Structure 1
Amino acid sequence: MTVDPEFLHSQNDDAVNGQLMKRATYAAVGIALILIAIKSFAYFATNSVAMLSTLVDSMLDLAASAINLFAVRQSLVPADRDHRFGHGKAEALAGLFQSAIITGSAVFLLFQAGERLLNPKPVYASDVGIIVMVVSIVLTIGLVLYQRYVISRTRSVAISADSLHYVGDVLINGGVILALILDTVFHWRFADGMFGILIALVLIFSAWKIIRTSFADLMDEELGDEERENIKTIVLQQPGVLGIHDLRTRRSGQQVFIQMHIDMDGSISLRDAHTISDAVEARLMAEYPEAEAIVHQDPLHIDNSRNDED
């Protein structure tokens, strides 16, 4: 029995990508725990509501990353009898949970920051707060760079959602540093509350982006126009393919599903038609290793009006 080398290569890629995704979730949970510890110390030292905001944000990061850890492990479970298309949508569901947690906490922060804006209080030990924020920024940037690498390899929705709010954390931590400087050096007592509100709004915006990405996956949204055009180009490059229509695509986790009808000369044999469609699938798999392609063959002479419409 001969094993297809391309199949083995695809299986290897899937295993490597799965390990990368798991490591990214472990790294996110670990960094979140470290940030919570140092920010808790900084909050009690400074009495800053902006610092409280970033502490709550890190607690959210921990909750979201923990959900991601479970979702990624679940999404990597192979297809089974009850889940023929795999478990990829677990990533999108995790994204919705993340967005709900983030939105609720952002509303809480709005009330806290609003109260501090109405009743300003001095900030203490700003140097401690600034040092903690700089350390937080360095750790978060390192995590985001690693997540970006994993996303480039896996296109994981869950890791992308996780990375979105860690990118926001870098901006948030920078805002806290600015709020501490304005309060301590320039005695702008309103800076702490104002930056708390801005941070809450950033969190709400991040939650919306996660919701949009998750719904696109759950609602089986088509791949982007550029990717669809690329698929058509790949298919039409195959000798024997005269046209393509009824192209349907969707993404579930890191897996892509592609369905289409291809037009071929109606006078060729069934064996030749099957060989051509297999070649089309091989071309698509070479470009999209995570894809599952279903190709239906249409003899062109039955309907000469066919064209490349979707």
Structure 2
Amino acid sequence: MQDKHLNISAGVASVSVATLLVIAKIWALSVTGSLSIAASLADSALDLLIACAGLLAIYYAARPPDKDHTFGHTSAEDLAALAQSVFILISAAVIAVTAVRRLLATTPHQMTAEGAGIAVMLLSIAATIALVLWQRYVARKTGSKVVSADSLHYLGDLIPNIGAICALLASSLLGFQHLDSIVALIAAALLVLGALNIGKSAWDALMDRAAPPEMIAAIETMAQEMPGIYAYHDLKTRMAGSKPFVNIHIEVDGDQTLREAHAISADLKRQILAAYPNADVIVHKDVAREADKPPHD
């Protein structure tokens, strides 16, 4: 329940910041005509759409399992993250094409009211830093892919915002107009890289990719060192959103009582959940082969 509240708080914060920045950048674009601000505005507008979709996905993914979704709804996070990557790629393409057209134009585009644009971009940077810090905290606590992807995207916004300030200063102090388009191209390239990373992570999860290797290695170590487990096999993992699913077969002494065998498997499950609280863990018990048992004294 705490994870749900944290994720929703990060989603609400993202929507609020994106709304504020869209309004501020629309005004800044209207008074400056800066392409770098236009690129930042397009990014913030997509941020707003994505943040709204992400908030809905977070809320839906937090719903408990039901008759039709016995493993829960956490894959909604991956679908939202995949949609984010597509929107970001489209945004980057539009920005890049516009920037190239301006660079090739015979008459440079003139910007005005650079001071107002700089003030808006400073506001954007301050709000973005505050949001990213909160999202990073929530992502560490909950492991939410949607919050993590949103944080990565906002973090990528900082460089274009700083670049926009540099472009406005270059126009105001030096009369150099092309830096605006160059900054927009750099921003588009950063958006593409971020989108590909987000999309790959979401695609891997939707295709039931295994949990991270370090998590698998840690679970193997737990099974090897747990008293009463002679061997283990068929360790299978997959990720759905921020939730890992773990299935493992352990081999125990067939001569002991069912209560004793269950206590061993319960101990292993508790140890895995202590390390990965959000995991869904199933431990199967099999009778150990005589060859796997230690020799009697």
Fold similarity call, TM over 0.5: yes
Aligned to 1:16: 2
Alpha-carbon displacement from aligned partner over 1:54-84 (angstroms, at most 9, x marks no partner): 0010001001101101111110111000000
Aligned to 1:25: 11
Separation (CA, whole Å) in 1 of partners of 2:112 and 2:56: 39
Shift of residue 300, structure 1, vs aligned partner: 2.0
Indicate conservation of the 8 Å contact 1:116/1:192, yes or no. no
Correspondence for 1:121 among 109, 115, 118: 109
Aligned to 2:77: 91
| Secondary structure of 1:36 counterpart | helix
Separation (CA, whole Å) in 1 of partners of 2:113 and 2:290: 80
Correspondence for 2:270 among 259, 264, 282: 282
Residue 194 in structure 1 maps to residue 182 in structure 2: yes
Aligned to 2:44: 58
Aligned to 2:155: 167
Correspondence for 1:152 among 123, 136, 140: 140
Separation (CA, whole Å) in 1 of partners of 2:278 and 2:73: 14
Residue 258 in structure 1 maps to residue 235 in structure 2: no
Shift of residue 97, structure 1, vs aligned partner: 1.1
Separation (CA, whole Å) in 2 of partners of 1:204 and 1:253: 22
TM value normalised by structure 1: 0.90
Shift of residue 303, structure 1, vs aligned partner: 6.4
Alpha-carbon displacement from aligned partner over 1:113-142 (angstroms, at most 9, x marks no partner): 111112221221111111111110010000
Aligned to 1:227: 215
Separation (CA, whole Å) in 2 of partners of 1:269 and 1:35: 64
Alpha-carbon displacement from aligned partner over 1:231-257 (angstroms, at most 9, x marks no partner): 122233321112222211112123221
Alpha-carbon displacement from aligned partner over 1:75-107 (angstroms, at most 9, x marks no partner): 011100000000000000001111111111211
Separation (CA, whole Å) in 1 of partners of 2:245 and 2:257: 28
Separation (CA, whole Å) in 1 of partners of 2:291 and 2:154: 53
Residue 38 in structure 1 maps to residue 24 in structure 2: yes
Alpha-carbon displacement from aligned partner over 1:6-65 (angstroms, at most 9, x marks no partner): xxxxxxxxx011011111111100000100111111111111111100001000100110
Indicate conservation of the 8 Å contact 1:235/1:284, yes or no. no
Aligned to 2:165: 177
Letter in 2 for 1:24: A
Correspondence for 1:106 among 76, 83, 92: 92
Give the share of equivalent positions with the same residue, in percent: 38
Structure 2 regions of 5+ residues with no counterpart? none
Correspondence for 2:123 among 135, 146, 170: 135
Separation (CA, whole Å) in 2 of partners of 1:280 and 1:95: 33
Shift of residue 159, structure 1, vs aligned partner: 0.7
The CA RMSD over aligned residues, in Å, is: 1.5
Separation (CA, whole Å) in 2 of partners of 1:248 and 1:213: 19
Q: Which moved more, 1:111-120 or 1:143-152?
A: 111-120
Shift of residue 304, structure 1, vs aligned partner: 4.3
Aligned length: 291
CA distance change for structure 1 residues 268 and 177 in 2, over 3 Å: closer, same or farther? same
Residue 213 in structure 1 maps to residue 171 in structure 2: no
